[in-house]
Structure 1
Amino acid sequence: MTRPVIRLGDLRNSFEGVIPSIIGTIDDDGMPNISYLSHVYYIDETHVALSNQFFSKTAANVRRLGVATVMVVDALSGAQHLLDLQFEQSCDSGEVFERISTHLDVMSHLRGHEGLMKLKSADIYRVTQIREVLAAAPLAPPPEPRPHRDRISHAARIISAIGAEADSDTILDAALDGLRDEMAFRNLMVLLPNEDETVLTMVASRGYDRYGTGAEVPVGTGVIGMTAASKRPVLIADLTRARRYARAITGDTAQIPLPGLEAPQCQMAVPMMAKGRLRGVIFAESELSFAFTHEDEAALGLIANQLASCLLLADLQAQAVQPSIALPPAPDTDSRRFRFRYFLHDDSVFIDNEYLIRGVPGRLLYYFVRKFTESGQRDFSNREIRRDSSLRLPDFKDNLETRLILLRRRLDEKAGPLRLSRPERGQVRLEFDGLPDIEVVGAAPALP
């Protein structure tokens, strides 16, 4: 009976580093040498890459004879395979090098070994033969094969749904609902960078017992932050060896806790890129190891970039809209008053002594509230907001709409005395339950 041909792509579960691989080489005299590898990296159907962090003997043997044999182990099935390798080249820059370097940086951070796994170079090998190692005692019963999932069709439907929407709110919902319903990703969130790309702020989520809108993750911290820093996707198939997750994802001084699973086993994050810039990060996690595949990662990357482009387009279109002028009904203020505190040093807002938001969204809310108390204005257009120099908006003014989404959803989540509604596209309206007593910590700039 002819055994089926083994494709390198069929062994992707063996390349996740859950079970270390073994590399064997020989010297000029035929003396064997064995070393352990943390990862073997899949390049294509005929090539793999190894990080050049070997013991000197292994590196010397490879450089002299140009051949090696690696044994990889599938962490789900226990299947073992031998890969006969022919050395082709070593690289210290480029796509393969950057991908491996990013992965090592993430794993170093999650394991508490920052800076100890810096990549010197990536060695590219051609796989000349794949051989199955027959187990002396096979697993009983063997794990059931996972069903095939047509991720291209799923991604196409989600991208179509995103493209059919024109409003930023509905665009975000279409993306997250599609990932949940089409691709069965149960725990999701979208995070957007602040103006200097040092912090990511959570703006929408699915699958958690609390929303956490406004929660922050420092760029460069954890799977989410490392994805933002590198602008490259990160997939960790099994987090068993990376137990620093809780500290890595939430940061140390978060005003709003980030929602997350208590014991995640698999995490995936992809950057949202448009016009060459980071527009956000989509993050997914699961309590099951190997819940996400590299096909999932590729499909999510397509969706993330479509989401970034559609949000950018929606913001530009909202800027061009000239809303109709209508007199809103008088706010239902009754006799209630609430405390509104605004801190100039970081644009943070507290309502009745509870933290609400900071950064550009906090600055916007203070602007709206102050305008109302001084002139009674409650309706604001995107065009007007952009043109007001007192707001000190960042030079790149193509994400105002997403900042307003963050502010609006955070206000709705708090269910306090302030809300933002959208009477029409390109316009927001300030809604009150009571009247604010404004306190500014620091000297407030004068309104024009």
Structure 2
Amino acid sequence: MNMPDTTSLRALSPSCFEGVIPAALGTCAADGTPNATWLSQVFLVDDHHVALSCQFFRKTRANLDAHPVAQLLVVDPGDFTQWILDLRFVRSETEGPTFDKMKHRIEAIASASKMDHVFALKSADVFEVIGVNLVPREGESRAPSPRITPNSLAGLVRLTEGIAAASELAAVVETGLNVLGTHLAYESVSLYLLEESEGHLYALASRGFQSSGVGARIPLGVSVIGTCAQRRMPVRIADAARELLYRRAVEEQVERVRGQDEREIPLPGLDGARSLLAVPLVLHGRLFGVLTTESRRALAFDDRDVEVLITAGHLLAQAIALHRDTRDEDADRDADDAPPKSEGSFAPIKIRYYPADDSVLIDGDYLIKGLPGRILFRVLSLRQAEGRSTFLNRELRLDPFLRLPAFKDNLETRLLMLQRRLEEKGSTIRLSREQRGRLHVVCEGDVVLETVNA
């Protein structure tokens, strides 16, 4: 049986280039000695060119310098069809779009697997495809499972309608994540916003995880999410089970950056996740955050999903920014604001505050750190010192203790994050937003404040 031969890659499924099944590259030395090596990444440049990652392979490089042709075996993970590509070496790129995309993906995987000093892309080696050959096999091919693809345009319309109808920030976020799940079939999603002054991303909300992870943070450049934010480029992992142990790697990487003994909220994550897609949210040329989705299926996301999630993410980010940047100057604290009273007959609430990183513990249980922790400690201190429970956004913005920037201070998003974190913990302290621009603090017991300068 002859193998059909062509020079176009259109016959191949894009999943052949996702790295789920490693590719094999064969080269030949000047004296005819063959050499084969496995490749983690084959990048589809166009219908007639591929790029291979040059990382470690001295022998492969020497062979190509002497004899610039090769053969590449790729496998479709959907039905295990094998293809042999005849290649002719064209050039090595150390910059440009192809190199940047390959480098970005390798850095994300390497960072998450704690091997960022080992995996370094030296160049993207571009090859012309001069032959595409289907490897024959006996028996019937197993067809891949059909992928359910919802009507993306209709889903984006629902998203636009939902966030346009939302009158407050919490409704914008809730509506956005719900539409992503119900109308766009992204069942496990998480939204991170940048805290520029700290160089961290904070989890504002999530959907479809066992734990929401609200208030969890991750440094820029760390793991897939942090690398996506730092490079401002999407990251798509086709099979995390093969490429990295994503959840464990994130936790270990964060520990390496921050130290072993610091208090942290676990990041939202899907047990057994195999596919991951993270897209950066950039507004007016500035990084705003990252939107991610995970799946237990390999090859769950493709280029279409990248485009859909970027579009949905930017619609959501623009709506959040609009509510965040709207100043609530018309709100007033009630003139007869009654002195704060403890609801019920509960034990005293012990608040421990660490100024070094603005960590807050409630009755010995870690709650949150950073700006949200600083805000909570401040309003509780004012509540105790001044005998009031209602606070205006504008007075918090002007409070020097909070050290908020004069422009785009993220106060609204931090208050929402703090409110959700308290609710998730079932805390004896609650925040309510009865009127736009006003914050009301409810405590189920007398508050005892302690500052620990350690």
TM-score class, shorter-chain normalisation, is 0.7 to 0.9
Alignment deviations for residues 233-270 of structure 1 (CA, whole Å, 9 cap, x no partner): 21111122245333322343553223423322222222
Structure 2 residue aligned with 1:38: 40
Q: Aligned match of 2:430 in 419, 444, 448?
A: 419
1:311 correspondence with 2:312: no
**8 Å CA contact 2:150, 2:183 repeated in 1:** no
- The separation in 1 between residues aligned to 2:180 and 2:71, in whole angstroms, is 40
- The separation in 2 between residues aligned to 1:86 and 1:8, in whole angstroms, is 18
Structure 1 residue aligned with 2:286: 277
TM-score (norm 2): 0.86
1:341 correspondence with 2:352: yes
Structure 2 residue aligned with 1:190: 191
Q: Tell me which amino acid in the other structure corresponds to 2:61.
A: A
Secondary structure of the 1:212 match is coil
Shift of 1:360: 0.4
Shift of 1:135: 2.2
TM-score (norm 1): 0.87
- The separation in 1 between residues aligned to 2:27 and 2:99, in whole angstroms, is 23
Shift of 1:434: 2.5
**8 Å CA contact 2:337, 2:388 repeated in 1:** no
Structure 1 residue aligned with 2:309: 300
Report 1:25-424 matches (<5 A). Answer: 25=27, 33-53=35-55, 55-60=57-62, 62=64, 67-139=69-141, 141-250=142-251, 251-252=254-255, 253-317=262-326, 319-326=327-334, 327-328=336-337, 331-333=340-342, 334=344, 336=346, 337-394=348-405, 397-424=408-435
Cα 1:254–1:50 change in 2 (3 A) is farther
- The separation in 2 between residues aligned to 1:399 and 1:20, in whole angstroms, is 44
Q: Tell me which amino acid in the other structure corresponds to 1:264.
A: A
Q: Tell me which amino acid in the other structure corresponds to 1:440.
A: T
Give unmatched runs, 5+ long, in structure 2: 256-261
- The separation in 1 between residues aligned to 2:431 and 2:76, in whole angstroms, is 51
Secondary structure of the 2:177 match is helix
Alignment deviations for residues 168-221 of structure 1 (CA, whole Å, 9 cap, x no partner): 212211221111111222222222233445433222111123323222334333
Shift of 1:162: 3.1
**8 Å CA contact 1:13, 1:74 repeated in 2:** yes
- The separation in 1 between residues aligned to 2:393 and 2:5, in whole angstroms, is 61
Shift of 1:342: 1.6
**8 Å CA contact 1:341, 1:439 repeated in 2:** yes
**8 Å CA contact 1:343, 1:441 repeated in 2:** yes
Alignment deviations for residues 295-325 of structure 1 (CA, whole Å, 9 cap, x no partner): 11221122222222222221111x2542144
Give unmatched runs, 5+ long, in structure 1: 444-448
**8 Å CA contact 1:273, 1:304 repeated in 2:** no
- The separation in 1 between residues aligned to 2:107 and 2:284, in whole angstroms, is 26
Alignment deviations for residues 374-413 of structure 1 (CA, whole Å, 9 cap, x no partner): 2233333332222222321246534221111111111111
Q: Tell me which amino acid in the other structure corresponds to 1:117.
A: F
Secondary structure of the 1:386 match is helix
Aligned residues: 439
- The separation in 2 between residues aligned to 1:107 and 1:208, in whole angstroms, is 22
Secondary structure of the 1:268 match is strand
- The separation in 1 between residues aligned to 2:47 and 2:329, in whole angstroms, is 50
Structure 2 residue aligned with 1:446: none
For the aligned residue pairs, the C-alpha RMSD in angstroms reads: 3.0
Q: Tell me which amino acid in the other structure corresponds to 1:40.
A: V
Quote the sequence identity (%): 36
Q: Tell me which amino acid in the other structure corresponds to 1:182.
A: H
**8 Å CA contact 1:386, 1:397 repeated in 2:** no
Q: Tell me which amino acid in the other structure corresponds to 2:331.
A: P
- The separation in 1 between residues aligned to 2:340 and 2:235, in whole angstroms, is 47
**8 Å CA contact 1:86, 1:128 repeated in 2:** yes
